[in-house]
Amino acid sequence: MKAAAAVLALAGSAYAFAPASKPPRATVAVQETKADLEELAKKLNPVVGFYDPLNLAEAEFWGTSNEATIGFLRHAEIKHGRIAMFAFVGYIVHANGIKFPWAMQMDGASFPTETNPPALWDTVSDSAKWQIFSLIAFLEFWSELSTPNHKHYMAGGKPGDFPDFTTGPDGIPHPVPFNLYDPFRFSKNMSEEKKESRLRAEINNGRLAQLGIFGFLCEQTTPGSVPLLTGIVQPYDGEPMAPFTTNVLGAPFGLN
């Protein structure tokens, strides 16, 4: 699973990609309130409705406004939902032994044959993992940019939206032909109503995927904790949340 959560995080934690020669997308300021969240909740799940036991919808994180805090919370949920969806699908792919037929590394090393997803991640070399995390770091950096053509999600930008890859003096110093979301622009002529409907479906699917991937991990590390998965997923005695098999940060202090 860690392979799914990390590798697939690269491809899916963001939104937006259009040919670099196209002009940047126009943005509209978004300032959502608790009332907006309550309305959205009814559309997402009419049965559960608005559920906020910690009263986060009225918080003001880090001394910012309530609208900025809601932007942060909305963006965080969408991002985590996307990663969870990739992780859930990736888990199933790895558990069924599906892999690319070519070599995984330049030295000719093939993809692991392990079908226990967390254990499979443990077999990936540290150098390969650092490449993965470096790309994740770049995507995180790029997603936090706030430009005249892309407002930050805490400053009136659209939660979940990922800035286009622009080239030139103010962007990436080499051409980037595609964007992360809809690289072939199939949704260019999609109506706003359909876009909103798909965004709501994405949030619901993301929530379900978060429950699903943690259900897998809980049953693997604590057999019997998820009865429906007993005998379906393989047990795992490692640390599913540790990106490396050794404690990189703790090693200099004698911590394993």
Token pair of 83, please?
């990663």
CA 3 – CA 164 distance, rounded (Å)? 26
Dihedral angle computed from the Cα positions of residues 172, 178, 181 and 186, in that order, rounded to the nearest 10 degrees = 150
3-state DSSP assignment of residue 221: helix
State how far the alpha carbon of 51 is from the alpha carbons of 39, 54, 57, 199, in Å. Answer: 12, 9, 10, 19
pLDDT at 1: 47
Using only C-alpha atoms, what is the Rg of the chain?
Answer: 20
Q: Which amino acid belongs to residue 171?
A: G
Scanning the structure block, which residue is given the tokens 């985590």?
80
Grade residue 165 by pLDDT with cuts at 50, 70 and 90: confident
Token pair of 176, please?
């980037």
Grade residue 88 by pLDDT with cuts at 50, 70 and 90: very high
pLDDT at 16: 34
What's this model's pTM, rounded to 2 decimal places? 0.80
pLDDT at 35: 95
pLDDT at 134: 95
State how far the alpha carbon of 226 is from the alpha carbons of 113, 205, 215, 220, 223, in Å. Answer: 26, 20, 7, 9, 7
pLDDT at 205: 97
pLDDT in tens, 174-200: 777 777 777 787 887 888 899 899 999
Give the mean pLDDT of the chain.
84
pLDDT in tens, 206-253: 999 999 999 999 999 999 999 999 999 999 999 898 888 877 777 777
